[in-house]
C-alpha cells in the first residue's frame, strides 16, 4: 500500500478504522445522494472552464438517475456561478485552482496530500502579500469538519511550499455566499504535525496486525461503505429491537370513566 495521506483518509481513520481500510482498498460505495452529487459536480465545474472540464461535468450528470439530473444540474449551475462570483470579487495573484500539493514527511516516510479549490497570493492588512488557501463548500453554514480540513490544507501548503509566514484560510459557503476567514500560524506547525504523525503510527500498527475494526455511531449514517459493513447492520438490528421493545413497553391508557 502506498504511504499517502489526504485529509479524507485521516478523517476516515479517526472515525472508523474499517472505513479507512475500505476507502484505501476502493471497496464498493453506496450510491451518492443528491447532496453528495451536487458537491462533487460543483467542485469539478468551478475548478476550470475548459471544454474538458465541461465534458467531465456532463459525464457525471449522465451517471445520475434520470429523475435527478435536472435538479442537480440546476443547483450545480447556481453554485458554480456563486463560486465564480466570490472568486472574482478578490484580487489574487498567482492563482491556481485545484493545485495538488505534496509533502514527504522524513520522519514517517508518508506523503501528505492536499488539493485546495484555490491557492494564491493576496494583499494583507499591512500592505504586503500573504498566501491564501480557499476551500469551497456547498453548504449554508460552517461545520467543524470544514475547518479541520482547511487547517490540514494550510499545513500541507506551508510544508510543500516552505512558506514561513501566516496563511489566510478561507471557507466559501456557496449556498449562503458567506466567507469564513481564519489564519494558520507557523508557531503551530510542530503541534499539528505531531497529531498527524500519531495517526500515521496508529495506521501502521493496524497494518501490522491486520485489525481494522469497525466503530459504530452517528458517523455511520454518512459512511459510504455502510451497506457492506456487518457492524453497521448489527447496529441497525439492535436499534430496531430496542424500538420494538419500547413500543411494547408503553403503558396502556385506560379510557376515562364518566
pLDDT digits (tens, 9 = 90+) for 118-152: 999 999 878 889 999 999 999 899 999 999 999 99
- The yes-or-no verdict on residue 206 having pLDDT over 90 is yes
CA angle 135, 180, 117 (to 5 degrees): 10
Domain ranges of the chain: 4-209
Q: Which residue has the cell 488557501?
A: 133
Partnered with residue 124 across adjacent β-strands are: none
Q: Is the pTM of this model over 0.75?
A: yes
Predicted confidence (pLDDT) per residue in 195-205, tens digit: 999 999 999 99
Percentage of the chain with pLDDT > 90?
66
| CATH, domain 4-209, list 3.50.50.60, 3.90.320.10, 3.30.530.20, 3.40.50.620 | 3.90.320.10
Q: How many helices (H) and strands (E) does the chain have?
A: 8, 8
Contact 27, 212 (CB under 8 A): no
Burial 113-142 (b: 16+ CB within 10 A, else e): bbbbbbbbbbeeeeeeebbbbbbbbbbeeb
Direct distance between the N- and C-terminal alpha carbons of the chain, in angstroms, rounded to an integer: 76
Amino acid at each position: 500500500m502506498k504511504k499517502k495521506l489526504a485529509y479524507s483518509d485521516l478523517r476516515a481513520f479517526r472515525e472508523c478504522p474499517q472505513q479507512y481500510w475500505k476507502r484505501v482498498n476502493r471497496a464498493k460505495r453506496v450510491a451518492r445522494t443528491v447532496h453528495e452529487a451536487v458537491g462533487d459536480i460543483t467542485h469539478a465545474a468551478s475548478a476550470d472552464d475548459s471544454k474538458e472540464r465541461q465534458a467531465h461535468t456532463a459525464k457525471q450528470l449522465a451517471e445520475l438517475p434520470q429523475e435527478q439530473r435536472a435538479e442537480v444540474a440546476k443547483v450545480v449551475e447556481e453554485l458554480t456561478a456563486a463560486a465564480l462570483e466570490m472568486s472574482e470579487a478578490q484580487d489574487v495573484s498567482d492563482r491556481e485552482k485545484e493545485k495538488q500539493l505534496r509533502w514527504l514527511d522524513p520522519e514517517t516516510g508518508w506523503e501528505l496530500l492536499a488539493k485546495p479549490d484555490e491557492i494564491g497570493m493576496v494583499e494583507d492588512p499591512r500592505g504586503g502579500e500573504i498566501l491564501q488557501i480557499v476551500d469551497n463548500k456547498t453548504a449554508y453554514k460552517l461545520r467543524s469538519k470544514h475547518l479541520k480540513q482547511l487547517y490540514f490544507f494550510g499545513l500541507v501548503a506551508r510544508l510543500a511550499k516552505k512558506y514561513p509566514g501566516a496563511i489566510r484560510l478561507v471557507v466559501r459557503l456557496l449556498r449562503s455566499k458567506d466567507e469564513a476567514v481564519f489564519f494558520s500560524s507557523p508557531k503551530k506547525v510542530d503541534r499539528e504535525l505531531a497529531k498527524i504523525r500519531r495517526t500515521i503510527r496508529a495506521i501502521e500498527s493496524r497494518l501490522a496486525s491486520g485489525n481494522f475494526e469497525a466503530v459504530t455511531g452517528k458517523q455511520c449514517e454518512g459512511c459510504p461503505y455502510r451497506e457492506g459493513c456487518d457492524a453497521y447492520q448489527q447496529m441497525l438490528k439492535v436499534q430496531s429491537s430496542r424500538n420494538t421493545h419500547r413500543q411494547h413497553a408503553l403503558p396502556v391508557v385506560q379510557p376515562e370513566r364518566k
